[in-house]
Amino acid sequence: MDFPVIVTAIFGAFVVFGGGMGYVKAKSKASLIAGSITGGLLLLSAFLLSRGITAGAILAIVVSILLIGQFGPSLRKKFKVMPNLLVVILGFITIGTLVFSFFR
């Protein structure tokens, strides 16, 4: 399997898991819904990437940018490793991996 596929799938699984944890800890239905949707889109992106479909990379980059845009400002206001810092770091790693593999 290709490295960008693995990175995107790990990020997607982390986001789904984080949404579930947000629901368990804070009873936040919004976390569950948003985590399921964005994580599911990242997992779909990984599947598309594994099939060689370029739209998977574009979808993963867009979702990653949206997640960074959501969690980045929260990270600046209140430094929390979980989930803010991890989402931002994994988002940048995913974007970097996809962009690098796209121009390879």
**Single pTM value for the model:** 0.94
pLDDT tens track of the chain, all 104 residues? 699 999 999 999 999 999 999 999 999 999 999 999 999 999 999 999 999 999 999 999 999 999 999 999 988 888 888 888 999 999 999 999 999 998 87
H, E, C per residue of the chain: CCHHHHHHHHHHHHHHHHHHHHHHHHCCHHHHHHHHHHHHHHHHHHHHHHCCCHHHHHHHHHHHHHHHHHHHHHHHHCCCHHHHHHHHHHHHHHHHHHHHHHCC
Question: Which two tokens mark 40?
Answer: 């599911």
